[in-house]
Amino acid sequence: MTAAMSRRLRFIMRARELGFAIEEIKGLLGLMDGGTQTCAEVKARTDRHLVDVRAKISDLRRIEKVLAATAVRCSGEDVPNCPILEALAS
């Protein structure tokens, strides 16, 4: 593997770790490969991704609260009625 290939692979892996979708990574690589990237364009793409990440975090916090509240209602015992299933069905 050449140094350039290794660098590209590290770029892709790091971008995936930061939650960039494959299409977003392709776009960033396209900017790099074409030599047309500007810091402003890369920042704009990153800012859009950050908005998405923050929205996902907000959604996950909401989901966590609902799941925690639902789980508290469940005794966890061997009984036929389960408040968790009832909450999911309602």
Q: What is the pLDDT of residues 45-88, one digit of tens each?
A: 999 999 999 999 999 999 999 899 988 988 878 878 888 888 88
Same domain, 33 and 65: no
Q: What is the DSSP letter of 36?
A: -
Those residues with Cβ within 8 angstroms of residue 8's Cβ, 6 or more apart along the chain or in another chain: 29
Residues 30 and 73 in one domain: no
Q: What is the CA radius of gyration of the chain?
A: 22
Q: CA dihedral in degrees (33, 39, 44, 49; nearest 10)? A: 60
Cβ(44)–Cβ(35) under 8 Å? no
- Provide the domain count of the chain: 2
Residues 27 and 50 in one domain: no
pTM: 0.72
Tell me the residue range of the domain where 24 lies. 1-37
Pair 24, 47 in one domain: no
Q: How far apart are CA 37 and CA 31, in angstroms?
A: 5
Q: What is the pLDDT of residue 52?
A: 95
16 and 54 assigned to the same domain = no
